[in-house]
């Protein structure tokens, strides 16, 4: 059987190593706020284990064990706060201080007022289990329609730790396995301590997997976003259009696409500089987003070109959104004074048709065709691509265009 100092030393080294790992993650990824709580949790747990070792040096004093127990309760609360922060849930320092404070008060009461090892173990177990139970649902639930493998592992490990806590408490209450003592560990207690060390490492490994999954998704998102405006880029647009085409092929339900050009953008760059041009692109993005519906997607496809995907929308609804975007741009231009640069846009609108199939480029070509007509008509307007039905030959009548142009001057 391992000695008590050896077991506590293993505990200290384990949590110090975990703390250093999380400190490196925290420093490398400052925006990953959950790492701050997990760093604090590991170092506080290491401090608690170190204080528990002082019980061997001062065998007649229970104060080191009180500080150690309080530190271990706080460490679990911090780990639970990190879990909540990871899943974008509110964290409460008040709850953490309340649980830690009640745990410390209970340990003090059942040490100095009414000395009872089973009562101390009951307080210690309950205050440790509460934050873990509150985090368990978050770890085992699906988020954004998918399960996080690291969270699932952390959830399973949490369940095992709770079972061990319950078994340890039962052993303390019934003196099973030689009772419970921080000074003289029984063989059962030694095994429990080693298992908890292993489980703490597994739990933090689950946290690391959670972090890796989050960072991987962030990198994937960055690959699909435009650096300047923060909306989708051309790759994201094509991915979304492919999905919408496939969905429309299955259901027969149409969707619409808007292709947008900023009028005179080259002149803005040449006259005012590229910084002013970038500001115009960002300003247009903000204006356009105020006129979109939930589920609509704005993307910048390059230079001064944008597209808007309108799921489950007809050509008429696409024209309505185009009109809204034009109106907000015109209203903003009317308020420009001094060095303000007005933004004007031309918009082509097209609706997916069955003959386009699963080929997004055909829909883009149709919207581009309508956009070209707007530019020929003087810009600062919108047009819809609406192929006219075939007409019987009428020699006296001029040939009909295959486009219906709707423009607002």
238 with 213, same domain: the answer is no
CB-count exposure of residue 384 (10 Å: 0-12, 13-18, 19+): buried
- CATH assignment at residue 160: 1.20.1070.10
Query: Over the chain, what is the mean pLDDT?
Result: 87
What percent of the chain shows pLDDT beyond 90? 63
Cα distance between residue 191 and residue 165, in whole Å: 13
Which pLDDT score is estimated for 388?
58
pLDDT for res 409: 34
228 inside domain? no
Is residue 356 included in any domain, yes or no?
yes
* Domain match, 56 and 150 both: yes
Give the ranges where 223-340 is alpha helix by DSSP (H).
234-251, 265-272, 274-289, 315-334
Whether the Cβ atoms of residue 176 and residue 121 lie closer than 8 Å to each other? no
Q: Identify the residue with better confidence: 217 or 36.
A: 36
pLDDT of residue 354 exceeding 60, the answer is yes
Q: How confident is the model at residue 365 (pLDDT cuts 50, 70, 90)?
A: very high
Task: Clarify whether residues 247 and 344 are in a common domain.
Answer: yes
What residue numbers bound the domain in which 248 lies?
A: 234-384
Together in a domain, 198 and 80: yes
Q: Can you state the percent helix, strand and coil of the chain, rounding each to 5? A: 65, 10, 30
Evaluate if residue 3 carries a pLDDT over 80.
no
Residue 113: inside a domain: yes
For residue 391, the model assigns a pLDDT of 45
Contact 129, 162 (CB under 8 A): yes
**What are residue 140's DSSP bridge partners?**
none
312 CB-near residues (< 8 Å, 6+ apart): 253, 254, 255, 295
Q: What is the pLDDT of residue 18?
A: 94
Domain count, the chain: 2
Q: What is the CATH number of the domain that holds 336?
A: 3.30.70.270
The 10s digit of each residue's pLDDT in 105-128 is 999 999 889 888 889 889 999 999
Shared domain for 166 and 279, answered yes or no, is no
CA distance linking residue 14 with residue 37, whole number of Å: 17
State the pTM of this model. 0.65
Asked whether residue 282 is domain-assigned, the answer is yes
Longest CA–CA separation in the chain, Å: 115
CA dihedral 258→262→266→272, nearest 10 degrees, is -150
Q: Within a domain: residue 401? A: no
Shared domain for 180 and 255, answered yes or no, is no
In a domain, residue 109? The reply is yes
What confidence score (pLDDT) does residue 60 get? 66
In a domain, 107, yes or no: yes
Query: Is residue 178 situated within a structural domain?
Result: yes
Q: Average pLDDT in the 55-76 region?
A: 83
User: What whole-number distance in Å separates Cα of residue 154 and Cα of residue 208?
Assistant: 10
Q: Which residue has the higher pLDDT, 193 or 40?
A: 40
At 161-190, the pLDDT tens digits run 999 999 888 887 887 655 555 555 567 777
* Higher-pLDDT residue of 223, 346: 346
């Amino acid at each position: 059987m391992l000695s008590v100092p050896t077991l506590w030393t293993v505990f200290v080294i384990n949590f110090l190593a975990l703390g250093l790992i999380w400190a490196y993650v925290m420093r490398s990824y400052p925006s990953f706020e959950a790492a701050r709580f997990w760093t604090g949790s590991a170092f506080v747990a290491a401090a608690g284990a170190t204080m528990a070792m002082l019980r061997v040096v001062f065998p007649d004093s229970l104060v080191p064990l009180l500080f150690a127990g309080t530190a271990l309760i706080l460490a679990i609360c911090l780990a639970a706060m990190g879990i909540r922060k990871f899943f974008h849930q509110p964290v409460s320092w008040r709850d953490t201080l309340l649980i830690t404070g009640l745990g410390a008060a209970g340990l003090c009461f059942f040490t100095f007022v009414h000395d009872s090892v089973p009562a101390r173990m009951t307080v210690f177990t309950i205050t440790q289990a509460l934050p873990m139970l509150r985090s368990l649902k978050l770890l085992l639930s699906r988020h954004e329609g998918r399960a996080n493998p690291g969270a699932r592992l952390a959830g399973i490990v949490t369940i095992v730790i709770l079972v061990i806590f319950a078994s340890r408490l039962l052993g303390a209450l019934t003196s099973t396995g030689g009772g419970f003592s921080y000074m003289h560990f029984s063989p059962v207690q030694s095994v429990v301590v080693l298992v908890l060390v292993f489980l703490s490492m597994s739990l933090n490994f689950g946290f690391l997997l959670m972090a890796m999954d989050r960072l991987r998704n962030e990198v994937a998102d960055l690959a699909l976003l435009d650096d300047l405006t923060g909306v989708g880029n051309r790759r994201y647009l094509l991915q979304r259009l492919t999905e919408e085409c496939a969905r429309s092929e299955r259901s027969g339900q149409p969707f619409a696409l808007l292709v947008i050009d900023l009028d005179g953008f080259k002149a803005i760059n040449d006259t005012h500089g590229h910084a002013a041009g970038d500001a115009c692109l960002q300003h247009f993005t903000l204006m356009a987003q105020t006129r979109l519906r939930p589920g609509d997607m704005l993307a910048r496809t390059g230079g001064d070109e944008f597209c808007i995907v309108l799921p489950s929308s007809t050509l008429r609804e696409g024209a309505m959104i185009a009109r809204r975007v034009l109106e907000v741009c015109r209203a903003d231009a009317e308020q420009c004074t001094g060095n303000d640069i007005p933004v004007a846009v031309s918009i082509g609108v097209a609706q997916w048709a069955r003959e386009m199939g699963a080929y997004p480029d055909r829909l883009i070509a149709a919207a581009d065709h309508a956009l070209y007509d707007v530019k020929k008509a003087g810009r600062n307007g919108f047009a819809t691509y609406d192929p006219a039905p075939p007409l019987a030959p009428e020699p006296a009548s001029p040939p009909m265009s295959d486009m219906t142009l709707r423009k607002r001057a």
